[in-house]
Structures are given as C-alpha cells and as structure tokens.
Amino acid sequence: MFRSYLSSTILRQLPLSIRSISTKRRELDAVIFDVDGTLIDTVDYHAKAWHDALEYYNIKSNLSDVRMQIGKAADQLLPVFATNEQIKKYGENIKAKKAQLFQDNYLDKVKPFPGVRELFELIKQRNIPIALASSAPIEELELYKNIANVHDLIDCQTSSSSKDVKRSKPYPDIFLATLKLLKNPSTDRVVVVGDTPWDAQAAVAAKLKIIGVLCGGCDEKLLRESGCTWIYRDIIELTKNYDRVTKDILKIE
C-alpha cells in the first residue's frame, strides 16, 4: 500500500507532459474492429444472399456451410463452393448477384448490436484510435457506419476492396493495411475485436491479439482454437470488461 501511495505521489509531482505519457502507456494504442457479426447483425443475411447467388448459377451449397464462411470476401469464399472454371466464368456475376440480393432483400433489415456506440465512446474518451477492418466492400462499409451510429468516432478504415488488400481474411493483408493507416503502432499494444475464425487467423498472422465476440453466432471453442485469447458474449459484455481486458493485454498489474 505504501509503495502504491508513493508511486501515485511521485506521479502527481511530475510535469503534466510526463504524467500524460505515463498515463497513456496504460491504454492501448488502437482498437481494430471487424464489422459484420461484430458490430452489426448481418451474418445470416449475407449467408442467404451468397447461398441464393450461388444457386442462381447452379452451384450447389448448403446454407449452414455458407454461413460458416461469412467473414471472408469473395476471393476466399467462392473457391470453397465453386471450381476454378466456374469462378472464371461466373465469378464476377455471382458477386454482383449477391450484392443485388443483399441490397434488395436484406439491407433494410440490418441492425446494430446493442451497445456499439457506448463502447466506441468509452474508447474515444481515452483518446484511443478506432479502426474498422471489414471484408465488406467500401460502399457497404459506409452504410454500416451510419447504421451503427459510429461514423463520427472512427479514425480510419480498411475494406476488402482497398488497394492495399490483395487477399481477404483469413490472410493478414487487411490488418497490415490498417496498421499502416494507424502509423504502424506496436502490435503488442493493439487489439482486434472480431466474431469469426477468419478474423482470428488473420489477426494472429498479423501478430495482433484478438478478442472474440459470440454475437455473430460462431462457436466459442472454434474462436479460441483459431486464436482468440478473450471471448465475450457480445459488445455489452466486452464494454463491462474493457478495463480488465486492457490490463491483460498490456500486462498491467
């Protein structure tokens, strides 16, 4: 107790600029969020749109199998269900059909998960940059920011359609591009929040820690096996545990 009192007394006597540096080191340098299934409830809608688009071009798929692949962009999802020949012949048409089906049938049903803005506000109150790293095309990502009501709280974003992203998740390209936008902070002071094994595998490949959330419907065991160190039921539970998980990440006693 005396040691703690002495440390706090010394800290108060330091110049404000030095105190700010000391305090800042107790916070993360950035938080990177996936979007679909993490911040907004879209996984089932994307799965149905992909399934129906594949069926339209006579490519058989099981809806539950398609759902397991959500979190990947088309470059990684299509090869799971279509042959190279089918992708070469129909790939762009399938992508366009999926986008059309999603916009026509599901976009107006999309809702944010509870507590998203509250978590973002908590992070921003601590002057921590927030980034989005999503497999969604940039046009969808812009819509999602407004749907989740966080458009004014985001410092930067990377989409699967960004020029620096050659391969979508589970490859690390999207997180590496996001780190570049964040001015290359130390990876041990940055955390990803995501809902799929593809988020986790991509984060681990980029040498980033990841928090898993179950609101996207993924199995907890699979998330942990894929690299999630911390797992919470949803954004609200993560918000309640934010200080605890920050201390764990930064190894603060």
Domain range summary for the chain, segments of one domain joined by +: 28-42+110-250, 43-109
**pLDDT higher than 50, residue 5:** no
The predicted-structure confidence for 191-228, as pLDDT tens digits, reads as follows 999 999 999 999 999 999 999 999 999 999 999 999 99
* Burial label, 145 (beta-carbon count in 10 A; 0-12, 13-18, 19+): buried
Would you state the pLDDT for residue 253?
Answer: 64
pTM of the entire structure?
Answer: 0.89
Would you state the pLDDT for residue 21?
Answer: 43
Mean pLDDT of the chain: 92
Q: What band does 85 get if pLDDT is binned at 50, 70 and 90? A: very high
The backbone torsions φ and ψ at residue 213, rounded to the nearest 5 degrees and listed phi first, read -120, 145
The predicted-structure confidence for 133-176, as pLDDT tens digits, reads as follows 999 989 999 999 999 999 999 999 999 888 889 999 999 999 99
28-42+110-250 carries CATH number 2.70.98.40: no
Would you state the pLDDT for residue 163?
Answer: 84
Q: E strands, 3-64, where?
A: 30-33
Q: What band does 35 get if pLDDT is binned at 50, 70 and 90? A: very high
Check residues 11 and 121 and name the one with the higher pLDDT: 121
List strands edge to edge, sheet with 230-232. 156-159, 130-134, 30-33, 190-194, 209-213, 230-232
Would you state the pLDDT for residue 13?
Answer: 55
Would you state the pLDDT for residue 64?
Answer: 97
CATH number assigned to the domain with residue range 43-109, chosen from the 4 options 1.10.150, 1.10.1040, 1.10.357, 3.40.50 = 1.10.150
Q: What band does 16 get if pLDDT is binned at 50, 70 and 90? A: very low
What would the mean pLDDT of 46-63 be, rounded to a whole number? 98
Contact predicate 235/113, CB 8 Å: yes
Among 3-12, 36-45, 100-109, 140-149, the range scoring the smallest mean pLDDT is 3-12
* % of the chain surpassing 90 pLDDT: 85
What would the mean pLDDT of 121-135 be, rounded to a whole number? 97
Would you state the pLDDT for residue 120?
Answer: 98
Report the candidate in 182, 184, 163 with the shortest Cα–Cα distance to residue 173: 163
